[in-house]
Amino acid sequence: MSEGQEEDFGITAPALDAEALVREVRERVRRKTESGAYKDYDLAGIASLDYEEKLGEEDFLRYHLQVVERLSDVNYGDFEIVSKGGRFGRVEVLLKNVIWKLLRFYTYRLFSQQREFDCQISEALQSHYRWSRGEIDRLSREVERLREELRRSGPAAD
């Protein structure tokens, strides 16, 4: 950790040695570990995090589910048709409005059905993810609990 140019600065607040405080934190953790203070901790959530980090796939799944959720609600309603200027600007807008109204007559039913389907699929994917996430959490805790039971039942259990 080098912050070369940042090292030279003046501080008026009372002196504090952050490194000494971090050493104290680590010493407290060491003492508590030795005394068994953490043995009843439920660390399944953190354990599953380590496991997921090795897998790395859930990052992508979460990201793409978010994107799908936002993309599924396609806006096929009216939008403002504006002119890019020029001599025929107003005629261009008029013509585009007529074309859009004609198109909308033919495409509305198709688009609305497609959007309904997309939204349902997106919702199904989201709820499937939430369900499986919950199940993984529950099973991770169960595995951690069973491991703990095995550890307590004898030295050879692990």
Is 55 a binding residue for other proteins by CB under 8 A? The answer is no
Residue 10 DSSP symbol: -
By CB under 8 A, name the one of 102, 134, 149, 151 that touches other proteins: 134
Nearer to other proteins, 58 or 116 (CB): 58
By CB under 8 A, name the one of 22, 95, 102, 157 that touches other proteins: 22
Minimum distance from residue 29 beta carbon to other proteins (Å): 5
Which positions from 90 through 129 interact with other proteins, judged by CB under 8 A? none
By CB under 8 A, name the one of 12, 55, 106, 158 that touches other proteins: 12
Stretch that binds other proteins, among 4-12, 96-104, 112-120, 145-153 (CB under 8 A): 4-12
Distance CA 129, CA 23 (A): 41
Nearer to other proteins, 75 or 155 (CB): 75
Distance CA 121, CA 131 (A): 15
Nearest to 62 by CA among 116, 130, 124: 130
Nearest to 71 by CA among 132, 118, 107: 118
In terms of phi and psi (left: phi > 0; alpha: psi -120 to 50; beta: otherwise), the region of 51 is alpha
**76: Cβ–Cβ under 8 A, 6 or more apart, which residues?**
107, 108, 111, 112, 115
- The residues of the shown chain that bind other proteins, judged by CB under 8 A, are 1-7, 9-19, 21-22, 24-26, 28-29, 32-33, 38, 40-43, 45-46, 49, 56, 58-60, 62-63, 66-67, 70-71, 82, 130, 133-134, 137, 141
